[in-house]
């Protein structure tokens, strides 16, 4: 099969196309013919150094996939050949999404939302599961609560806005003014132009903060949290304030999650969750996708078409 392999850790130019052996599903696994693969910041960050991820013998990036079940291994009852699925298998171990085929534990995948095509579905898993696990599983957001989403137009942020809104929250987002109209269309109730305003001076009484920025944003966000509120930081464990007072401040590392994927697919099929796809490129242009992503100017997600 075709795959984009990391020839050596470093720049985007080290992503090269290579023919590799097609995997075969084992016990409890399915073989998926990949139609589209999402591109995430973790992809280019790990490409640069290989750090944090448990790599296979041939390093192949990519965790977000949407495609068709080609074959099922012994013991699998959820799917049959021909079923359309999406998911984020094996993270943080190597999944190998930048390839024509992926083998995954059956319960790391869910049925693709009928309302979305494969490109849209491939844009969802890692970012949407991050938002879901932060808002639903960790903070337990309920109707009427106030949620602050930093980098609201980003890959995780624009999905967090929609998930929080679907749960009845009052949603505040930080983003440049040029993206405010877009975010209002996604359901944001209040927006802060981070270039012109200090959010700590215009936002208060927040129940939940989602911080995808780092660089001290989490510590500053404590100022706007209600006592007992949730601060969920995504950049890394070092971004969590050492002293959060009465707030619960945590770092969240997203996990494969069948229940979360099903909840996300249900929202998509209800028309309550739709990923913004900024750029679509063919698999062989994965290096170009990384170059675009590393500029930090995309709104929503980058997706590679495979099949």
Domain 2-124+275-305 fold is Quinone Oxidoreductase; Chain A, domain 1 (3.90.180)
For the chain, give the mean pLDDT: 96
CATH class of the domain defined by 127-251: alpha beta
**CA triplet 143, 171, 294: central angle to 5 degrees?**
135
Rounded Cα–Cα distance for residues 107 and 112 (Å): 13
Question: Does the predicted model carry a pTM greater than 0.85?
Answer: yes
For residue 52, what pLDDT band results from cuts at 50, 70 and 90?
low
Parallel, antiparallel or unpaired: strands 206-211 and 190-193: unpaired
Structure tokens at 216: 């001290």
Average pLDDT over residues 255-281: 97
With 70 as the cut, is the pLDDT of residue 256 above it? yes
Query: What's the whole-number mean pLDDT along residues 236-264?
Result: 94
The domain limits of the chain are: 2-124+275-305, 127-251
What's the confidence (pLDDT) of residue 212? 93
pLDDT of residue 141: 98
How large is the average pLDDT for residues 151-157?
96
Per-residue pLDDT, 21? 96
Give the residue from 34, 21, 23 showing the smallest Cα distance to 62: 34
Q: Is the bond preceding 305 in cis, omega lying within 30 degrees of 0?
A: no
Report residue 196: phi and psi, to 5°. -115, -20
Mean pLDDT confidence for 219-242: 94
Range 153-168 average pLDDT: 97
* 206-215 pLDDT tens trace: 999 999 998 8
- The mean pLDDT value for 230-235 works out to 96
**Is there a contact between 2 and 102 (Cβ–Cβ < 8 Å)?**
no
Q: Would you say residue 187 has pLDDT above 90?
A: yes
Q: Does 53 score more than 80 pLDDT?
A: no
pLDDT digits (tens, 9 = 90+) for 89-118: 999 999 999 999 999 999 999 999 999 999
Q: Mean pLDDT, to the nearest integer, of 177-195?
A: 97
Nearest to 66 by CA among 80, 94, 81, 85: 85
Which tokens is 23 given?
């995997």
């Amino acid at each position: 099969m075709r795959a984009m392999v990391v020839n050596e850790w470093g720049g985007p130019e080290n992503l090269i196309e290579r023919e590799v052996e097609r995997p075969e599903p084992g016990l409890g696994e399915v073989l998926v013919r990949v139609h589209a693969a999402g591109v995430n910041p973790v992809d280019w960050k790990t490409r640069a150094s290989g750090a944090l991820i448990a790599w296979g013998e041939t390093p192949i990036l990519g965790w977000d996939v949407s495609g068709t079940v080609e074959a099922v291994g012994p013991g699998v009852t959820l799917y049959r050949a021909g079923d359309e699925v999406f998911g984020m298998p094996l993270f943080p171990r190597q999944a190998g999404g930048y390839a024509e085929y992926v083998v995954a534990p059956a319960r790391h995948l869910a049925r693709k939302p009928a309302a979305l095509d494969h490109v849209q579905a491939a844009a969802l898993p890692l970012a949407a599961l991050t938002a879901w696990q932060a808002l639903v599983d960790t903070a337990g957001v309920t109707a009427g609560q106030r949620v602050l989403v930093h980098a609201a137009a980003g890959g995780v942020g624009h999905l967090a806005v929609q998930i929080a809104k679907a749960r009845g929250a009052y949603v505040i987002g930080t983003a440049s003014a040029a993206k405010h109209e877009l975010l209002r269309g996604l359901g944001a109730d209040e927006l802060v132009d981070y270039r012109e305003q200090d959010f700590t001076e215009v936002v208060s009484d927040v129940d939940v903060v989602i911080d995808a920025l780092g660089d001290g944003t989490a510590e500053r966000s404590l100022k706007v949290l209600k006592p007992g509120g949730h601060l969920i930081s995504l950049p890394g464990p070092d971004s969590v304030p050492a002293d959060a007072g009465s707030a619960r401040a945590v770092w969240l590392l997203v996990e494969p999650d069948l229940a979360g994927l099903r909840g996300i697919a249900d929202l998509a099929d209800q028309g309550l969750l739709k990923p913004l796809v900024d750029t679509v490129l063919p698999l062989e242009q994965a290096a170009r996708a990384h170059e675009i992503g590393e500029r930090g100017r995309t709104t929503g997600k980058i997706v590679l078409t495979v099949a």
